[in-house]
A and B are shown apart, each in its own frame.
Chain A
Amino acid sequence: MSAVSEREAMEFDVVVVGAGPAGLAAAIRLKQLAPDATVCVVEKGSEVGAHILSGAVIETRALDELIPDWRKRGAPLNTPATEDRMLFLTETRSYRVPMLGTVMPHMSNHGNYIVSLGEVCRWLGGQAEALGVEIYPGFAAAELLDEDGRIAGVATGDMGVTREGERGPNFAPGMELRATYTLFGEGCRGSLAKQLMARFDLRQGVDPQTYGLGIKELWEIPASKHRPGLVQHSFGWPLDRATYGGSWLYHFGENLVSYGFVVGLDYANTWLSPFDEMQRLKTHPSVRQHLEGGKRLSYGARALSEGGLQSVPRLSFPGGALLGDSAGFLNVPKIKGTHTAMKSGMLAAEAVADALANGRPAEPRSYTRRVRQSWLWTELRDVRNVRPSFAKFGTLGGALYSGFDAMVLRGRAPWTMRHRHADNEVLDSAAGSPPIAYPRPDNKLTFDRLSSVYLSNTNHEENQPVHLRLRDPQRWRSVNWDLYRSPESRYCPAAVYEAVDTEAGDANGPRLQINAQNCVHCKTCDIKDPTQNIDWATPEGGGGPNYPGGM
């Protein structure tokens, strides 16, 4: 079913896919440098910020460069980080890492701000619109316009297609947004970025990307407990020593606490459930004392790129470039990607503005050079060995190595550790994985998946094609079930995947039920499925979570 012939088209100088920090910074920078350029931003969320999920403690370096008077313009950066804590946890105790600024200099948050990144993006969206950028939330870029060897823009998805793929009564064809340059800021594991990497072989010669899954809750706690500016991180329990991950807990705003947990998606135990790890960590005294007596306001999840420098693909291609976490610019030891995402967007915009003014060559090649000459590259180079050292040496060895790397080598190690495997390749079979028993939720501090997903305000038009597709539906039974016992039903933080009819007496045997309506667009299934059999495609625009202010 195709609506190609009847869809309308519009020409722009630049189309940006995704209204996150990278895409909006790119759009703003472009209009600053080339005020007459026509710039259009499409965003699959129902509004700017609806799909933005981050801790977030952000560094203002890129923002200072982009909008130096952001304070005067009312940017929602209101809670300066004032106190840093890094805890190593055992099941019952916590040990505070001493002299944090020296041992883990990347974890020092002096001068940084605790924010709701969704709110920051809404503000950036306003700044962009004031400069004449056209932003269209509620429309997903679903298709690359691949013409004459270059990307000539994107097309938004058709609306009103039924579950069976037929045109429903409200069918509305997608629209072609044609552009000289198209910038892809879809965030981690973008569905079009994935196609671009294959189409232009952008990952040739670089390490596989590795990922983490971040799950977040927003809490409102009693004022008497609230300590705005407190930044606490933890590692260790409840994860075993071979699994990378840890928690964050930030006090900010009006009695708000951002609590979240990241698990490296290179985990091996198929029984591991990131969601349940995140829930049970709240029962640890070091977290419980902050949240007890409070109320959970919202919930969400998003994958993030952890590969760092070694995994950054080729950045430009004929007709466009990759921005932010679509390329993988997260600084892992800092656990920050907003300032690098924004910087990459700005650098891409500078390359594109230059190209627009100089004969419009097919590929904005200077982007790569600009990145390599900027602080963004230096910053990622200096921390390039931290994440792989955890994969190589485990939690304690990785922590020791990282301290050594930071204090003694100061990021100038003469070696670069590699990422050997993609995250989907390292899962152990059900028989080879020690089972994990997770406690039941108490519905005060800990919760189940469905009541959590409810708080993400996610929704998808019910009667649309399922946007999570199995390339080979038969393979689920023989691989995912027989070998791994349905890992997707555990790693999915939104209860999208459910193995049903699993009792021995069920006539047809186990099958996979996909509750696509629950999806919060975290992309983990696209990453972690053992045989990469799950393809995440954009659902109808406007669908997905509606994270409120504060998230």
Chain B
Amino acid sequence: MKLLVPVKRVVDYNVKVRVKADGSGVETAGVKMSMNPFDEIAVEEAVRLKEKGAATEIVAVSIGVQQCQETLRTALAMGADRAVLVLTEESPEPLAVAKLLRALVDREQPGMVIMGKQAIDDDMNATGQMLAGLLGWAQGTFASKVELSDGVATVTREVDGGLETVALTLPAIITADLRLNEPRYASLPNIMKARKKPLETIAPGDLGVDVTPRLTTLRVAEPPVRQSGVKVGSVAELVAKLRAEAKVI
């Protein structure tokens, strides 16, 4: 079975993001970028399935600017077999991404798509679900455990209040949650070898998809700075402040 693993290039999780002075978005110039951590978990899961013999080939896909090649090289170093870059000027919206992925699914015919549950930059949490909808495939989102047998994926999902286990008939979409696994390091020898693995670049037009944005960003602002606390002298004063100043009781 072939696995398709979409990976997104995002601002590194260690970086404190900064809103551009004009409020048009987040500053990315000169900022360290890396693979979305949930996508790393997805890549790891795919590699483990291949190591167990449940999958035969892993195709990593990224959609975005030229530098997404670096993200794909990381996926290749972790164990993906080949990579496809859909080159766009900026990162498209979830629906456009889902449509591009659908076109790639048509082309590649994978048995499963494993992807991060959401990207840490826009926190949309939409692409996996949209892709499942467009394809009419089963979906197992927020996966913390995946088991495969006889064309069925048994997926443990992290839901509010506990764990839900679902059985999906393949082909299916799985979106990875934090506890699914702990991704391996891309080791130096594997990074060197990944330089020689195939990486194909295509345009959205090649897949017949229009990636024109449908959403308009009005404004991006930083969250308000947390005010420092005050010490109160008595319970009565606390109640008075909660009532008059905080207006919560």
Partner-B contacts on A (CB < 8 A): 8, 10, 46-47, 49-50, 116, 118-119, 122, 134, 136, 139, 156, 159-160, 169-170, 172-175, 220, 255, 297, 454-455, 457-459, 546, 548-550
Partner of A457, one of B15, B182, B184: B15
User: With a CB–CB cut-off of 8 A, which chain A residues contact B191?
Assistant: 136
Give the interface centre of A172, A173, A220, A297 by most chain B CB atoms within 10 Å.
Answer: A172
> Knowing that A118-B30, A134-B192, A457-B16 are A-B contacts, what are 5 other residue pairs whose CB atoms are under 8 Å apart, sorted by A's residue number?
A46-B34, A47-B32, A159-B187, A172-B187, A255-B21
Min Cβ gap B199→A in Å is 16
Closest 6 CB pairs of A and B: A549-B30, A175-B188, A172-B187, A8-B189, A159-B185, A459-B14
Min Cβ gap B24→A in Å is 14
User: With a CB–CB cut-off of 8 A, which chain B residues contact A297?
Assistant: 18
Q: Are B15 and A546 in touch, CB under 8 angstroms?
A: yes
Partner of A175, one of B15, B182, B187: B187
Query: Whose C-beta in chain A lies nearest to the C-beta of B28?
Result: A549
Q: Are A546 and B187 in touch, CB under 8 angstroms?
A: no
Min Cβ gap B230→A in Å is 16
CA gap between A142 and B243 in the complex, in Å: 59
Query: Whose C-beta in chain B lies nearest to the C-beta of A175?
Result: B188
Q: Are B12 and A10 in touch, CB under 8 angstroms?
A: no
Min Cβ gap B46→A in Å is 16
Q: Are B14 and A457 in touch, CB under 8 angstroms?
A: yes
B contact face: mostly helix, strand, loop, or mixed = loop
CA gap between A454 and B14 in the complex, in Å: 10
With contacts A159-B185, A170-B185, A172-B187 taken as known, whether A116 is within 8 angstroms of B18 at the C-beta atoms is: no
Residues of chain B from 142 to 196 with CB closer than 8 A to chain A in the complex: 182-185, 187-189, 191-192
Question: B29 within 8 Å of A by Cβ?
Answer: yes
Question: B31 within 8 Å of A by Cβ?
Answer: yes
CA gap between A267 and B151 in the complex, in Å: 71
CA gap between A485 and B217 in the complex, in Å: 54
With contacts A50-B32, A136-B191 taken as known, whether A546 is within 8 angstroms of B185 at the C-beta atoms is: no
Partner of A10, one of B18, B27, B184, B192: B192
Give the interface centre of B15, B32, B34, B184 by most chain A CB atoms within 10 Å.
Answer: B32
CA gap between A341 and B16 in the complex, in Å: 31
Q: Are A454 and B16 in touch, CB under 8 angstroms?
A: yes
Query: Whose C-beta in chain A lies nearest to the C-beta of B31?
Result: A548
Q: Please list 18 pairs of residues, one from A and one from B, whose beta carbons are closer than 8 Å in the complex, sorted by A's number.
A: A46-B34, A116-B30, A119-B30, A134-B192, A159-B185, A170-B183, A170-B185, A172-B187, A174-B188, A457-B16, A457-B32, A546-B15, A548-B15, A548-B18, A548-B27, A549-B29, A549-B31, A550-B30
Q: Are B32 and A548 in touch, CB under 8 angstroms?
A: yes
